[in-house]
């Protein structure tokens, strides 16, 4: 088995052992032999002292490709250990958008010092990207792309393209972009297509028109949605006047999809502030700070549930068995609401569900029918369980039927209400211009609990006339 194929835990233990025994040269040799993804996996599992020793002695060539994906504190450690001069040399090797991402992870004073060390042409391109918010299209776009005037011939374009490409002046790309004298985007030409055209032909005679593009201030998630919907590998970025600023490439789109999916998943799990970087690397204190707000909020929400239960204390005292079925009902309604929310969130995120009256009507009808079908299985099961437990407890047929009826009716009512709330809450949040992912499973479950307790004891009071 080669070094590359060894498991992460084994490599971490070996590097840690080398560092502990002052065999730093061997630790660095092992680390430098790793590919970028595995090197990142290793450094996030080392403690700060071990990382600093490794960073100080390693060339860090295998971290260049993943530098922008490292947690902020790791990037700062590298810059602190290497110094601003070496950090500038490392950053120069990155694409423009990743250079901006890395610089934004550093303290402002260190960032300014590194910017002063960058070549003037590179500095100009980096500053163009850094002026856009990190979550925007402009914040992830690539500016070093082949751009040619419409009047240029195919022969001249090929010669100049080869020359600049050899000099490393272009980032990843699949097309050559054609502009007019005011830098307004006219279209693009696939590089393979360009090579098959007559050398004397002008670019404006063979250019392919572009229908889909984005502005730099759009949310980066919009670019990912467009790319997925239209099966694009690149999306041009143009300003309000139609001037070409750069492109969003496939690797950027994939990063956005993964990042947004992770962010939505964490929000849906009840984390108001998402975790950036690695879970393994984050400290318990920071993790607790991110998790605590939602738990406090939900704890306070549960006061409502407790208050409703207290109001019906007399009902519980007279029919104590009712309390035994409450957790089952509450969990079931919460689960149904969470399922509905997850499905609607998916539709909103992918753009499948539109904020239109027709889609809203379809959602309500579909969920109503879906819950009805599910209740064909759940309701009889609920009645049988409720009847069996009640009859065994009291050996009274009338009592058992009454309790089973209460449990079943409460189940039906809470399922419908929880499902409708779970379906509509994300849509309502979108209408309010709030991220629908904050309609998290814990929130929906808590609302379902409140509804279930209220419905359950109200029905019990009516049936037993309490």
User: DSSP labels for 412-455?
Assistant: HHHHHHHHHHHHHHHHHHHHTTS-GGGS-HHHHHHHHHHHHHHH
> Angle at Cα 50 formed by Cα 46 and Cα 54, nearest 5°?
105
Q: Which two tokens stand for residue 450?
A: 């409140």
- Tell me the pLDDT of the chain (466 aa) as tens digits: 444 445 888 888 899 999 999 999 999 999 999 888 888 888 888 888 888 999 988 888 888 888 888 888 889 899 999 999 999 999 888 888 888 888 988 888 898 899 989 888 888 888 888 888 777 888 888 888 899 999 999 999 999 999 888 887 788 888 999 998 888 999 999 988 888 899 999 998 999 988 888 888 888 878 888 887 788 888 899 888 888 988 888 777 777 766 665 555 555 454 445 545 555 656 677 656 666 666 676 667 667 777 777 777 667 766 777 777 888 887 787 788 878 887 887 777 666 778 788 888 888 898 889 999 999 999 999 899 889 988 887 778 888 888 888 889 888 988 888 888 888 888 887 777 766 655 556 677 777 778 888 888 888 888 776 5
Could you tell me where in the chain the CATH 1.10.357.20 domains are found? 284-464
214 DSSP β-pair partners: 237
Cβ neighbours around 293 below 10 Å, total: 13
Any idea which fold 3-129 has?
Answer: MgtE N-terminal fold (1.25.60)
Q: How far apart are CA 68 and CA 55, in angstroms?
A: 16
Cβ neighbours around 118 below 10 Å, total: 18
- Helix, strand, or coil (residue 283): coil
- The CATH superfamily label for domain 147-252 reads CBS-domain (3.10.580.10)
Domain 284-464 has CATH 1.10.357.20: yes
Q: Say which residue the tokens 């950036």 belong to.
A: 276
Q: How far apart are CA 422 and CA 416, in angstroms?
A: 10
Question: Would you tell me the crossing angle of helices 48-57 and 8-20 to the nearest 10 degrees?
Answer: 80
Q: How far apart are CA 238 and CA 185, in angstroms?
A: 8
Q: 307 CB contacts (<8 Å, ≥6 apart)?
A: none
pTM: 0.56
């Amino acid at each position: 088995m080669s070094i590359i194929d060894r498991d992460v835990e084994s490599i971490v233990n070996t590097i840690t052992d080398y560092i502990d025994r002052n065999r730093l040269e061997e630790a660095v040799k092992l680390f430098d032999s790793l590919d970028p993804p595995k090197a990142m996996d290793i450094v996030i599992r080392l403690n700060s002292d071990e990382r600093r020793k490794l960073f100080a002695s390693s060339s860090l060539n295998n971290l260049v490709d993943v530098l922008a994906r490292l947690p902020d504190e790791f990037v700062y450690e590298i810059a602190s250990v290497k110094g601003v001069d070496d950090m500038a040399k490392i950053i120069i090797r990155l694409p423009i958008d990743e250079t901006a991402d890395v610089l934004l992870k550093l303290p402002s004073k260190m960032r300014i010092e590194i910017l002063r060390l960058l070549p003037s042409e590179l500095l100009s391109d980096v500053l163009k990207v850094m002026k856009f918010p990190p979550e925007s299209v402009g914040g992830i776009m690539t500016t070093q792309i082949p751009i040619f005037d419409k009047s240029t011939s195919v022969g001249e374009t090929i010669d100049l393209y080869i020359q600049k490409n050899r000099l490393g002046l272009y980032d990843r790309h699949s097309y050559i972009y054609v502009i007019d004298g005011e830098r307004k985007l006219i279209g693009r030409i696939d590089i393979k297509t360009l090579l098959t055209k007559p050398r004397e032909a002008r670019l404006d005679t063979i250019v392919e028109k572009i229908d889909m593009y984005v502005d730099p201030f759009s949310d980066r998630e919009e670019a990912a949605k467009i790319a997925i919907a239209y099966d694009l590998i690149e999306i041009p970025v143009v300003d309000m006047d139609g001037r070409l600023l750069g492109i969003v490439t496939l690797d950027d789109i994939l990063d956005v999809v993964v990042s947004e999916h992770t962010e939505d998943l964490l929000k849906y799990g009840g984390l108001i502030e998402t975790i950036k970087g690695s879970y393994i690397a984050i400290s318990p204190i920071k993790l607790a700070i991110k998790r605590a707000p939602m738990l406090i909020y939900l704890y306070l929400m549960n006061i409502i549930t407790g208050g409703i239960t207290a109001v019906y204390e007399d009902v519980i005292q007279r029919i104590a068995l009712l309390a035994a079925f409450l957790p089952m009902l509450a969990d079931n309604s919460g689960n149904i609401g969470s399922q509905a929310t997850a499905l609607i969130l998916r539709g909103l995120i992918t753009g499948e569900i539109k904020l239109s009256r027709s889609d809203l009507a379809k959602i309500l009808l579909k969920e109503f029918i879906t819950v009805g079908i599910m209740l064909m299985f759940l309701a009889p099961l609920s009645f049988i369980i409720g009847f069996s437990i009640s009859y065994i407890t009291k050996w009274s047929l009338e009592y058992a039927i009454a309790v089973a009826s209460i449990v079943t009716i409460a189940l039906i009512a809470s399922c419908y209400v929880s499902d409708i709330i779970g379906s509509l809450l994300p849509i309502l949040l979108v209408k309010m211009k709030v991220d629908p992912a904050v309609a998290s499973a814990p929130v929906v479950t808590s609302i379902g609990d409140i509804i279930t307790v209220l419905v359950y004891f109200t029905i019990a009071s009516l049936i037993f006339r309490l």
